[in-house]
Amino acid sequence: MNNMNNNFLIFRPFGPSILKVSIPAKLIEDLNNYVDEIIKNKKKSQALDHGENLAGNVKQEFIIEHEFANKIGWVKFLAESSIPWLQTMSKKKVTEFNIMQTWIVRQFKNEYNPLHVHSGHISGVGYLKVPSSFGNTFQKSKKSNMNGMLSLVHGSKMFLSDTTFNIEPKVGDFYFFPNYLMHVVYPFFDSDEERRSVSFNAKVDNEVYTHAYGEE
């Protein structure tokens, strides 16, 4: 784990690194208000629906309008958070940051997101609302409770090398990772509250992305 500053943490539990940052309170408020307004507007909810293009088995996933994302500073936050991480890890200057999509996932009990990857070069997920409880495991034992958790998956389990990095959702936490990193979101139970997350896909300079493959 590497501290870039008090709000930026880099984790490297396996091959690719992962960046964790905090979403500013004002952005959380703006995004939640936006989502709440979309929910009330059935026509707009249908127009922005993105579920057919995403892997999740959830009832509602919709695109954040690009104009709004720029207006509230969401795109700026994503760029200013990820660029220092990319430059630290690649040792190359990043001059391009182009959002492909940014979207909301509204997950409720018994819903899930199967193992999948994203398009673009970099992706990420953060949390706007989290249930007070994800429910208990069926067996009363010391095994980990993965309800509602995000697992990032890479490679296979080896000596001194994990294959999963498990994340407990907390409001305000945002994680950046390379697009190809497999990940899965587990269902939760015993709660009618919403697990609300925000994600994105973006492209950066091709020279930065291809540098990892030894292409100069």
CB count in 10 Å sphere of residue 181: 19
DSSP 57: B
Q: Which two tokens stand for residue 179?
A: 């697009």
DSSP state of 214: T
Closest CA to 123 of 132, 131, 113, 133: 113
Domains of the chain, first to last: 16-134+143-211 (2.60.120.620)
In tens digits, the chain (216 residues) has pLDDT values of: 555 555 789 999 888 999 999 999 999 999 999 999 999 999 999 999 888 888 888 989 999 999 999 999 999 999 999 999 999 999 999 999 999 999 999 999 999 999 999 999 999 999 999 999 999 888 776 778 999 999 999 988 888 778 999 999 999 999 999 999 999 999 999 999 999 999 999 999 998 998 754 444
**Rg of the chain over all Cα atoms, to the nearest angstrom:** 17
Give kind and range of the element (H or E) at residue 67: helix 66-71
List, in sequence order, every beta strand (DSSP E) within 57-178. Answer: 60-63, 97-107, 113-116, 122-129, 150-153, 164-167, 173-178
Three-class DSSP category at 27: helix
